[in-house]
Amino acid sequence: MKVAIIGAGVSGLTAAQHLTTRGFKVEVFEKSRGLGGRLATKRLDWAHMDTGAQYFTARDPRFVQAVKNWQQAGVVEPWPFTPYSISADGALLPSPDQTLRYVGVPGMNNLAHALADNLTVHRNQCISQLVRNKGRWKLVSDSGDQFTDYDWVIVSAPAEQSRVLLNGHTPIAEQISSELLEPCLALVIATTGPVPKAVQGIFGDSTVGWVSRLSAKPQRTKDVAYDDLWLLHFSSQWSADYDPIAAEDIVPTGLEWLQHAIDTLPNQNQQKPLKLVNHCQHYWRFARMAKNAQQPPTLIDKTNHLAAIGDWSHGGRIEGAYLSALHLVDTAF
Ligand SMILES: Cc1cc2nc3c(=O)[nH]c(=O)nc-3n(C[C@H](O)[C@H](O)[C@H](O)COP(=O)(O)OP(=O)(O)OC[C@H]3O[C@@H](n4cnc5c(N)ncnc54)[C@H](O)[C@@H]3O)c2cc1C
């Protein structure tokens, strides 16, 4: 049986791996040049930077086991640190928790590369149309390429994009809400200037929701031109209000926010201010699940041999993406 999987993020690649192990002939189609989807590491000449998911946690025993295997294979490592958070009066304070956090090494999307090992992945193929012909599926890409004779098609794109692709072919399309995933504006800044080593991750406020000190993650290399590399994820609301077309300069906003937070640390305001060395930004139109999002029921159409998977169908996050794939493989194949 031949299966086409649209999307080479965690969910698509996990489904592909498990189906291949079970003896199915699988092909993955990815619209980007890179693998991993929102598990993204951008590689520029001055830095390698994770711009999407910053770390992941593991709770379900099946995912815990997978993480152990990846650790043994040297693909992921724990990122141990005490997070900081912004208190009600705006001060940056340690906020200890028991959460075990993991990252891909040396970049988040190295996990995707490991998942894609031995798989057939057609990169730079944005699938824009599905066509049913004599009980089998044909995929058409936006450049006009055609891929034929699939028994099953699994769509693993973010919710809104999956709905558009499946629309008119299956009733499951109607169960996918367009409001499941919220946007996120990501800003990476390289800085010089002293910041206490303990500050590695910050739960922020209504402007910047999360900060990672990327240069403190395990196995990251750093250019000598700067002391630190920071990733700021602007909050969902702030990102939704931001107009990517007008492209307002967010660098001063982000740098000021970080400087202000650091200045509230003991003895820090006597230090030299952070100096910007370089920066880069990325707008995620579909980033994370909205807090009160209504998760759709299982999205498997056994009559038409179509299914939709992804973090948004399993509670969000990398763990959800992984589990959505396992659930599909166990239920439908
Ligand atoms: C800013 C941000 C912060 C996050 N923080 C965390 C975090 O801290 N912890 C955590 O666990 N998770 C976090 N996440 C969420 C995590 O990244 C996702 O849950 C997970 O990566 C989703 O995997 P997926 O396979 O479901 O979807 P995706 O990773 O979105 O993969 C879908 C793939 O489909 C491709 N695609 C889409 N349409 C087509 C098409 N028509 N043809 C071909 N290919 C197509 C896309 O290019 C993409 O590669 C974050 C995400 C973002 C963006």
| Average pLDDT of the residues in 256-261 | 96
Residue-level pLDDT at 248? 73
Give residue 82's pLDDT band: very low, low, confident or very high (50, 70, 90): very high
pLDDT value at position 267?
79
Label residue 170 by pLDDT band (50, 70, 90): very high
- pLDDT of 269 above 80: no
pLDDT at 147 over 90: yes
Ligand 1 centroid from CA 204, angstroms:
22
User: Span 16-21, mean pLDDT?
Assistant: 98
Mutate which of 5, 124, 317 for ligand 1? The one with the most ligand atoms within 8 Å of its CB, which is 317
Pocket of ligand 1 (CB under 6 A): 6-12, 29-32, 37-39, 52-56, 126-127, 156-158, 161, 165, 184, 186, 233, 284, 287-288, 310-311, 316-318, 321
* pLDDT higher than 80, residue 297: no
Q: What whole-number percentage of the chain has pLDDT above 90?
A: 89
Which CATH number applies to 2-35+116-179+296-332?
3.50.50.60
Predicted pLDDT at 51 = 98
pLDDT of residue 181 exceeding 80: yes
- Going by CATH, does the domain composed of 76-107+181-289 fall within 3.30.70.890? no
Domain pair 2-35+116-179+296-332 / 76-107+181-289, same fold: no
Residue 311 CA to ligand 1 center (angstroms) comes to 8
pLDDT at 308 over 90: yes
Q: Where does the pLDDT of residue 242 fall: very low under 50, low under 70, confident under 90, or very high at 90 and above?
A: confident
**Choice among 132-141, 162-171, 198-207, 289-298 with the minimum mean pLDDT:** 289-298
Q: Which of 51, 217, 311 to mutate to test the pocket of ligand 1 (most atoms within 8 A of CB)?
A: 311
CA–CA separation, 186 vs 279, rounded Å?
11
> Quick check: 173 and 271 in contact, CB under 8 A?
no
Q: Supply the pLDDT for residue 271.
A: 79
The beta strands (E) that lie in the chain are given as 2-6, 25-29, 41-44, 47-50, 76-78, 84-86, 92-94, 102-104, 120-122, 127-133, 136-141, 146-150, 152-155, 181-192, 201-203, 208-213, 228-234, 275-289, 300-301, 306-308
Tell me the domain boundaries of the chain.
2-35+116-179+296-332, 76-107+181-289
Q: Is the pLDDT of residue 15 over 80?
A: yes
